[in-house]
């Protein structure tokens, strides 16, 4: 025993400094839980019993990204100037898309009755719900291993976005207080997104529903609750029942790609009158013609182009990325309709960095364009500003960065 204690002493003395710091930070964390978080939780109606069971045995998860040691300043986030600027090609890797579609087609049949009931109640097509479910958690098959209280507690205590995670950990405590699930059942991703639809706790409180009627909103174990919760979320963000998300299209050169964007919608009949057609050769459905649509060119003139309905931008409320929403739309179509990728290929864009795109964005801003923030990525504001600049300079508008283009800036 004596020898063991002696070994321990040697071990302790040889511990690297940061290990001792960690022990001290752990103590600060426990202190913060009791003296800072608990009083606010209590004010919000969380009981001591719930709070204790939520944080029983919870310590800091040191493996999470974006942690900031207490008392130190977060490192300034450096834009990844050296990173390669990527075209959407990889996002639509056909093997990945096809595997989500295959799972979705099976489940679309298996849950046909349930899906019809959800569609009737919320007005969101089942194919869209399945596509989001498949994308978020591979239909519940992906392991979501983290303890929500450990993730959210750690991030509320020491991360680059403490206020956001404080709000979320308090919401998680309210969920536990309501009793839908026990704290240990509340599994999340490393970013704190919970269950099969990957809801943050605040989204759960607002949008999760009990659809299988067992009295609990269970987005971890219930397919009915998962799908209906996604539907309820999209409905709350303005899903227009009876309308699709969008249509792959051909947009002739006389329709400038600089007209892209949800703030530049027109009745779809006006786009058609200007020469926009569906790639399928079919006409736009009659009920869509009088309604609003935006042109959407995720890779400018270097890939598939679309007429997007307002529902496309509702899907972006789930994840604010054009490519995410397109992935969901394409998978949804392939689950219910013909199972094929977009008809136009994505042309690879190679040899430019995000830093070069940022330089171009900064110059466009200097010339009075709105690029939506110079981040080295090509969102719709950047794309259409590029197009407007090209037109002003007598070039064919492509609305997307290219090697040749960035060299002009």
> Using CB under 5 A as the criterion, which residues of the chain lie in contact with Ca ion when the complex forms?
210, 212, 214, 216, 218, 222, 225
In the complex, the smallest distance separating the C-beta of residue 213 from Ca ion, rounded to whole angstroms, is 7
Q: Tell me whether residue 218 or residue 356 sits nearer to Ca ion (CB atom).
A: 218
Q: What b-and-e string marks burial along 291-314, b requiring 16 or more CB atoms within 10 Å of the CB? A: bbbbbbbbbbbbbbbbbbbbbbbb
What is residue 194's DSSP assignment? B
Question: If we measure between CA atoms, which residue out of 57, 64, 59, 44 comes closest to residue 172?
Answer: 44
Cβ nearer to Ca ion, comparing 154 with 222:
222
Comparing CB distances to Ca ion, the nearer of 150 and 226 is: 226
Is residue 336 a contact partner of residue 124, using CB atoms and an 8 Å limit? no
Token pair listed for 217? 């909103």
Shortest Å distance, C-beta 338 to Ca ion: 34
Nearest residue (CB) to Ca ion, 89 versus 178: 178
CB of 207 to Ca ion, least distance (A): 14
Comparing CB distances to Ca ion, the nearer of 121 and 277 is 121
Answer positive or negative: Cα dihedral of 82, 88, 89, 94.
positive
Cβ nearer to Ca ion, comparing 222 with 309? 222
- The set of residues, in sequence order, having a beta carbon less than 8 Å from that of 380 and lying 6+ positions away, is 260, 261, 262, 296, 322, 372
* Cα torsion 150, 156, 159, 160: sign: positive
The H-or-E segment that residue 307 falls in is strand 305-308
CB of 147 to Ca ion, least distance (A): 22
Q: Which residue is nearest to Ca ion (CB)?
A: 210
CB of residue 225 vs Ca ion: minimum separation in angstroms?
4
Q: Confirm if 212 and 152 have CB atoms less than 8 A apart.
A: no
CB of 348 to Ca ion, least distance (A): 46
* Distance separating alpha carbons of residues 195 and 207, to the nearest angstrom: 13
Residue with tokens 């040691």: 69
Q: How far is the CB of 208 from Ca ion (least distance, A)?
A: 9
How many Å apart are CA 312 and CA 324, to the nearest integer?
10
User: Which C-beta is closer to Ca ion: that of 97 or that of 208?
Assistant: 208
Of residues 133, 347, 116, the one with CA closest to residue 233: 133
**Cβ closest to Ca ion, residue 201 vs residue 300:** 201
Shortest distance (Å) from residue 109 CB to Ca ion: 23
Distances (CA, A) of 248 to 82, 163, 253, 298: 33, 40, 16, 11
259 DSSP assignment: G
């Amino acid at each position: 025993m004596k020898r063991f204690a002696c070994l321990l002493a040697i071990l302790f003395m040889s511990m690297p400094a940061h290990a001792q710091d960690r022990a001290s930070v752990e103590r600060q964390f426990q202190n913060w839980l009791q003296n800072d978080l608990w009083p606010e939780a209590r004010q919000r109606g969380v009981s001591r019993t719930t709070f204790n069971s939520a944080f029983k045995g919870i310590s800091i998860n040191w493996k999470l990204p974006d942690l900031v040691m207490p008392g130190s300043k977060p490192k300034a986030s450096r834009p990844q100037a050296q990173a390669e600027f990527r075209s959407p090609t990889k996002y639509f890797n056909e093997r990945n898309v096809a595997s989500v579609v295959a799972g979705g087609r099976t489940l679309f049949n298996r849950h046909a009755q349930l899906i019809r009931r959800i569609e009737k109640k919320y007005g969101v097509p089942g194919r869209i719900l399945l596509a989001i479910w498949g994308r978020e958690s591979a239909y519940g098959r992906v392991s979501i291993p983290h303890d929500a209280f450990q993730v959210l507690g750690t991030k509320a205590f020491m991360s680059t976005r403490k206020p956001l995670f404080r709000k979320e950990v308090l919401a998680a405590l309210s969920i536990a207080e309501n009793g839908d699930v026990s704290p240990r059942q509340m599994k999340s991703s490393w970013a704190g997104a919970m269950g099969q639809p990957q809801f943050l706790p605040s989204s759960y409180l607002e949008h999760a529903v009990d659809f299988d009627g067992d009295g609990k909103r269970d987005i971890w174990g219930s397919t009915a609750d998962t799908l209906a919760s996604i539907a309820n979320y999209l409905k709350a963000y303005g899903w227009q029942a009876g309308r699709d998300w969008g249509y792959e299209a051909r947009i002739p050169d006389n329709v400038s790609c600089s007209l892209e964007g949800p703030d530049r919608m027109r009745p779809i009949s006006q786009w058609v009158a200007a020469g926009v057609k569906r790639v399928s050769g079919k006409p736009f459905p009659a009920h869509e013609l009088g309604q609003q649509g935006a042109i959407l060119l995720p890779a400018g003139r270097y890939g598939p182009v679309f007429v997007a309905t307002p529902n496309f931008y509702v899907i972006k409320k789930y994840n604010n990325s054009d490519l995410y929403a397109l992935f969901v739309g394409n998978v949804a179509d392939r689950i219910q309709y013909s199972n094929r990728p977009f008809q136009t290929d994505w042309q690879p864009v190679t040899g430019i960095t995000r830093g070069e795109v940022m330089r171009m964005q900064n110059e466009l801003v200097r010339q009075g364009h709105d690029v939506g923030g110079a981040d080295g990525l090509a969102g719709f504001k950047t794309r259409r500003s590029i197009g407007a600049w090209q037109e002003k300079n007598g070039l064919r508008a492509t609305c997307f960065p290219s090697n040749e283009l960035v060299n002009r800036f």
